[in-house]
Amino acid sequence: MKIKISRPNIYLLSLSTLLLIIVLVFSFAVLIPNGKDYREQRAELRKENKELRKYQNFSDETLEFLQKLKADNRHIITAFDTAFNPDRFEKTHQAYFSSLSISKKVRLENEGEFSVYEVNTTSEINSPKTFYDFLDAVNKSDWIIGINFPIHFKRDGELIKSTFTMRVYSTQKEDLNSTK
């Protein structure tokens, strides 16, 4: 019994066998070792993506909290940028007093990023309630002002004379601009 295989079939069979050997050598030499590296890199990438999502979520929460704080405290932020004007202060708060006088502001040492001015005031009021209304108005004014204790009240007939000191806080923008 003789097997008859034609020459083109022999070429085709030898070529197929050669290609199969090349594919197997390529698979065992290149793909399988690199597959292990690929799986390790894929696992590392998943860990890094998980950590990135964690930090991105933290960043988003912090940004949202910051924007909420900015919106809630917009008045305070703009008050730090407003320069103190004693004449405007007197005109704004004159309605609470029968007379209001502000002595010249004395510049104190810088406290961090803020310039601090001390303002001494003397006023005549009709009742302590008026003074407390004034304190509420100061809290809503265009400046950051701290009323320092003690506050001295002295009755003079129907009027009450009050003397107190205020600290006015403002940012040092004018100092920064003068050095540039």
Convert the pLDDT of each residue in 77-110 to its tens digit.
Answer: 777 777 777 777 777 777 777 766 676 656 656 5
**What pTM does this model have?**
0.48
Which of these three, 13, 40, 72, is where a domain ends? 72
Residue 116: pLDDT above 50? yes
Average pLDDT, the chain: 78
**Which of 26, 46, 72 represents a domain boundary (last residue)?**
72
* Residue at 78 is within a domain: no
DSSP codes, 14-75: HHHHHHHHHHHHHIIIIIHHHHHHHHHHHHHHHHHHHHHHHHHHHHHHHHHHHHHHHHHTHH
Is 162 domain-assigned? yes
Domain that holds residue 32: 1-72
Average pLDDT over residues 28-48: 87
pLDDT at 1 exceeding the cut of 50: yes
140 and 90 co-located in one domain: yes
Same domain, 147 and 174: yes
Q: Do 51 and 92 share a domain, yes or no? A: no
